């Protein structure tokens, strides 16, 4: 199930109560997996949400999921009324920025074997829950490369 599609205006931020959401981007008619989020994570396309512009990615429920959401108007009302919400938002944005940096560093590892092993160490939970096709795309590998690396 698609939570949201690429190139739409996103006016919600979701909280994952249970389940798994996968973020994809379509470039040159090919899907690339950008992130995986699970229980206790927030899902949104931050640029789209803040600027009220088009999303750069799609979000797909890869498992049966239960989500809660705030609309753009509700989130900004919360920021106006409760100062603590601004502190929490800053912490969350920093957390997701660091996650994104880890992925960027992971993709800089040239040998697929090392890339996979570092991923497996950083995100043990993912190996049990995420389809190999998504993991291969996330690691910028083919499914065949990932299968060979996992066997070695």
Burial class (CB within 10 angstroms; exposed 0-12, middle 13-18, buried 19+) of 48: buried
Q: With H, G, I as helix, E, B as strand and everything else as coil, classify residue 25.
A: strand
Does domain 2-95 fall into CATH 2.60.120.10? Answer: yes
Q: Supply the pLDDT for residue 28.
A: 87
Six-digit token string for 120:
């497996």
pLDDT tens per residue across span 65-94: 999 999 999 999 999 999 999 999 999 999
Annotated domain spans of the chain: 2-95, 109-152
pTM listed for this prediction: 0.90
Q: Do 19 and 39 meet the contact criterion of CB atoms below 8 Å apart? A: yes
Q: Supply the pLDDT for residue 1.
A: 86
């Amino acid at each position: 199930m698609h939570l949201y599609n690429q190139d739409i205006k996103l006016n919600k931020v979701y909280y994952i109560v249970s389940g798994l959401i996968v973020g994809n981007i379509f470039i040159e008619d090919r899907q690339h997996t950008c992130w995986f989020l699970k229980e206790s994570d927030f899902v949104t396309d931050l640029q789209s949400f803040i600027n009220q512009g088009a999303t750069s990615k799609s979000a797909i429920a890869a498992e049966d999921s239960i989500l809660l959401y705030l609309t753009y108007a509700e989130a900004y009302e919360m920021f106006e009324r409760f100062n603590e919400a601004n502190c929490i938002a800053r912490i969350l944005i920093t957390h997701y920025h660091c996650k994104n940096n880890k992925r960027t560093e992971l993709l800089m590892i040239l040998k697929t074997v090392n890339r996979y092993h570092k991923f497996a160490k950083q995100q043990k939970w993912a190996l049990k829950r995420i389809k190999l096709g998504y993991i291969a795309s996330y690691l910028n590998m083919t499914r065949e490369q990932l299968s060979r690396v996992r066997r070695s």
